[in-house]
Amino acid sequence: MPPYQAAAVYLGVVAVVVLAITGGIGRLRSRQRTGAKQAPYECGVSTDAGVGPRFPVRFYLVAMLFVILDVEAIAFYPWGVRLRALGGVGLEDMAIFAVVLAIGYAYVWKKGGLDWR
């Protein structure tokens, strides 16, 4: 099988699955329009005025920093697996990557981005 033919078959299967799922959802959904279904709803909290707690922006900034930390951990795993094959160049590249990340975290720490006041 030529390489592009395998990719075309894969994309065809993906397209069929996507169309089947979207078509199935349209057929299985409830068609009754009630007030509760028409009301705005987000993150488990009704969006009525004055209802629900408001989170400070700092909460979201710290959450984004932790997501970035997870992405960094994912980047270190394949590097660690292939370290011997990469040699000194791979070690140097990852050291530069780690230094840039450390500088970024030091900046955020100095600015008070990790403090919960």
The CATH number covering residue 15 comes to 1.20.58
Whether the CB-CB separation of 79 and 94 falls below 8 Å is answered with yes
* Residue 63: half-sphere exposure toward Cβ, Cα within 13 Å: 6
Host domain of residue 14: 3-110
**Dihedral angle computed from the Cα positions of residues 52, 53, 59 and 60, in that order, rounded to the nearest 10 degrees:** 20
pLDDT tens per residue across span 8-25: 999 999 999 999 999 888
Cα-only R_g, the chain = 24
Is residue 96 one of the residues assigned to a domain?
Answer: yes
Query: How confident is the model over 57-66, as a mean pLDDT?
Result: 80
pTM: 0.47
pLDDT at 45 over 70: no
Number of structural domains found in the chain: 1
| Three-state DSSP class for residue 1 | coil
Is residue 116 one of the residues assigned to a domain?
Answer: no
Whether the CB-CB separation of 47 and 41 falls below 8 Å is answered with yes
The pLDDT of residue 50:
53
pLDDT at 44 over 70: no
Query: How confident is the model over 65-86, as a mean pLDDT?
Result: 87
